[in-house]
Structure formats: C-alpha cells, structure tokens
Amino acid sequence: MVQINYRDPRPIYEQLRDGFRQLILTGVLKPDEKMPSVRELAARLAINPNTIQRAYRELEAEGCICSVPGRGSFVCKTDAALLARREELTAQLRQAAEELRNLGLTDKEIIVLMKEGNDHD
C-alpha cells in the first residue's frame, strides 16, 4: 500500500495522491476495486482524515477514482487517467526541455539526457 515519508518535502496529501495514482496506473489497484475508506486509512497511517479526503478528491478530479455515495471510492477504468497523466507529464517535459535550451543545451544534448534516463542497466 502507500507509504508516507515524513522527510519528503511534499505535503502528505500529495504523497498519498501520487502513491495511489502510481498503484492505479501500474495495475496494482484494478478497475472497480474498492479504495480503503478514509476512516480506515486515517487510522492505519495515523493521519488526519481530511488529508486523505483531499488526496481522494484530487484522484477523483483526475479520473483515477470514482466516489459512490454510501459505498465509498472505487478505482475507475484508467484510460482517461492515463491520458490525463501523459498530457501532464508531456507538458512538464516540454517546459523542462525549454528551460534546458535557455541554459544553453542543444536538442541533441537533451535527447542524450533522455536516453540516459531510460537506461535501467
């Protein structure tokens, strides 16, 4: 399940959102699978339920989860979430590439950096 790192500079709700998003997008959490209840997760992680609710709201806005009144939250079919995340990361990549160009790197150097980041050996 999702782990909280108190040394991480990101707020806890972002860590939760990103952790659950990763579990959903990689298929660890399957479509229609019930998410842990806010109360259950708050007790398990010893954090404020409002923090979990905020993470769940953001996941729902991204299309990763769906709330069913009286039943809880469930993992949605991930096509829309995958597309939204891909668009978000593409925009970030374009912004980073532009900043690297402004710092004097050529497109060729940026491509080499991208390929180095892809080496998992």
Closest CA to 73 of 50, 89, 57, 91: 57
Looking only at the bridges linking them, the beta strands covering 65-68 and 72-75 are: antiparallel
Judge contact between 36 and 51, C-beta under 8 A.
no
Digitized pLDDT (tens) for each residue of the chain, 121 residues in all: 788 999 999 999 999 999 999 898 888 999 899 999 999 999 999 999 999 999 999 999 888 899 988 899 999 876 766 677 778 788 889 999 999 999 999 999 999 988 886 654 4
Q: What is the pTM of this model?
A: 0.69
